[in-house]
């Protein structure tokens, strides 16, 4: 069921999009209304959730570090893995965001015959994740050729690099193959490992399948069942200039692709995909490990009523004096 639900959801989305493309009159809904709605939900949803996160206090100083803390001058500290200053934190965050350093440090526990418990480095998750994310980035940036007029130079340059091998016509983009391979790996990885399958939810499979179906419809449109790309750009430019325009016969497949993207955008703020802004707000990564240098006070510490010794002495002075006890004040 956990696996069936995402599959069914994807199927329904595609069927709805194909229906929308087939019924005359609905193309305005699928080509203009849904994209604008999805963009709005994506943008406002992310802003809303980040502002909500920003309201949650981080009372405890909780960086999780993997290096020697800065202490005495003659003990070598780890400036990136256990940063004590802002530049160190920036470096650590950059390595986390750009290189997925936490995943690179991933280890796996395995029971070998013996029985023997073995811990080993496991880089496959890191590899799949970084291949997917960078392919996704390149593909999104490549799409700017359809969103922007005139096309920025860097987009054309990126296309040239991505299409470096010049295989076939239209030329194959390396990232198209890489993203499908990476997504399939990330998907099968959850199915293959029984422990991972046990902790996987429908909300883990759904984004993978959704992005995979976006990639597949895109690949189909470029290499196999080509659509009129000039009309596609016309529609996109219409959206991005607030002059919505539905060109004639763009192709059914295009509407499936577009609707899947709309679903992804609208789903984004409510899903695990919020790790995109979330990584910037991870207290275990973005705090400096400086608790030996700076005092961190819980912002909501309750004002505790204390009874100081002075007050105590004032209260019992007479009886203390009678008992012959020493007093601070006579």
Partner 1 sequence: MLQYSFNSYTGTLKDGMMYDTGKIVTGLVVFAALFTSPFWYNLSNGKALKRPDIVLPTAPNEQQCCADSEYMRCDHMVMLDEWRFAVVRDGQTYYTSSTGRKFEMRFTKTCLGCHPNTSQFCDQCHNYIGVNLYCWDCHNKPNTGSEGSRVAQILNPEPENQDGASRSPVFLHRTIRRDRIK
* Minimum distance from residue 60 beta carbon to partner 1 (Å): 13
Identity of the residue, 65 or 158, whose beta carbon is nearer to partner 1 in the bound complex: 158
Identity of the residue, 80 or 155, whose beta carbon is nearer to partner 1 in the bound complex: 155
How far is it, in rounded angstroms, from Cα 106 to Cα 121?
Answer: 6
Q: Write out the two tokens for 35.
A: 């994209």
Identity of the residue, 169 or 199, whose beta carbon is nearer to partner 1 in the bound complex: 169
* Minimum distance from residue 143 beta carbon to partner 1 (Å): 9
* Minimum distance from residue 208 beta carbon to partner 1 (Å): 23
* Minimum distance from residue 316 beta carbon to partner 1 (Å): 27
Give burial (CB, 10 Å; 0-12/13-18/19+) of 120: exposed
Q: Write out the two tokens for 96.
A: 């986390």
What Å distances lie between residue 266 and 44, 260, 273, CA to CA? 10, 10, 11
Sign of CA dihedral 85, 91, 93, 96: negative
Give burial (CB, 10 Å; 0-12/13-18/19+) of 132: buried
Enumerate binding residues for partner 1 (CB under 8 A): 42-43, 46-47, 50-52, 54-58, 144-152, 155-156, 159-160, 163, 166, 168-170, 226-231, 233-234, 237, 240-243, 247, 277, 280, 299-303
* Minimum distance from residue 291 beta carbon to partner 1 (Å): 18
How far is it, in rounded angstroms, from Cα 5 to Cα 9?
Answer: 6
Identity of the residue, 143 or 317, whose beta carbon is nearer to partner 1 in the bound complex: 143
Identity of the residue, 185 or 245, whose beta carbon is nearer to partner 1 in the bound complex: 245
At 271, is the secondary structure helix, strand, or coil?
coil
Q: Write out the two tokens for 113.
A: 């015959």
Identity of the residue, 67 or 238, whose beta carbon is nearer to partner 1 in the bound complex: 238
* Minimum distance from residue 42 beta carbon to partner 1 (Å): 8
What Å distances lie between residue 7 and 4, 179, 205, 299, CA to CA? 5, 19, 9, 46
* Minimum distance from residue 318 beta carbon to partner 1 (Å): 32
CB of 24 closer than 8 Å to CB of 224 = no
Measured in degrees and rounded to the nearest 5, phi and psi for residue 328 equal -70, -45
Identity of the residue, 199 or 297, whose beta carbon is nearer to partner 1 in the bound complex: 297
């Amino acid at each position: 069921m956990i696996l069936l639900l995402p599959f069914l959801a994807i199927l329904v989305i595609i069927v709805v999009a194909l229906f929308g493309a087939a019924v005359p009159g609905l193309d305005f809904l699928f080509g203009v209304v849904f994209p604008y709605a999805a963009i709005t939900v994506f943008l406002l949803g992310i802003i809303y959730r980040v502002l909500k996160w920003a309201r949650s206090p981080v009372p405890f100083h909780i960086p999780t570090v993997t290096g020697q803390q800065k202490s005495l001058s003659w003990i070598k500290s780890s400036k990136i893995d256990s940063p004590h200053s802002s530049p160190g934190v920036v470096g650590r965050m950059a390595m986390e965001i750009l290189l997925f350093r936490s995943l690179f440090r991933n280890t796996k526990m395995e029971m070998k015959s013996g029985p023997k418990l073995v811990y080993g480095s496991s880089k496959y998750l890191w590899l799949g994740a970084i291949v997917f994310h960078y392919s996704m980035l390149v593909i999104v940036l490549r799409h700017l050729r359809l969103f922007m007029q005139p096309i920025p130079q860097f987009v054309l340059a990126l296309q040239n690099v991505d299409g470096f091998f010049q295989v076939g016509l239209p030329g194959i983009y390396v990232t198209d193959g890489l993203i499908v391979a990476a997504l399939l790996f990330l998907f099968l990885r959850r199915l293959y490992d029984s422990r991972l399958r046990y902790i996987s939810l429908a909300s883990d499979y759904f984004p993978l399948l959704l992005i995979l179906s976006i990639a597949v419809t895109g690949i189909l449109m470029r290499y196999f069942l080509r659509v009129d790309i000039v009309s596609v750009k016309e529609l996109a430019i219409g959206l991005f200039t607030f002059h919505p325009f539905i060109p004639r016969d763009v192709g059914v497949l295009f509407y499936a692709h577009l609707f899947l993207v709309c679903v992804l955008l609208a789903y984004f703020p409510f899903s695990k995909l919020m790790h995109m802004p979330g990584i910037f707000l991870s207290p275990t990564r973005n705090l400096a490990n400086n608790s030996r240098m700076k005092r961190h006070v819980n912002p909501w510490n309750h004002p505790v009523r204390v009874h100081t010794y002075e007050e105590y002495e004032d209260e019992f002075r007479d009886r203390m004096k009678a008992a012959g006890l020493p007093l601070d004040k006579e």
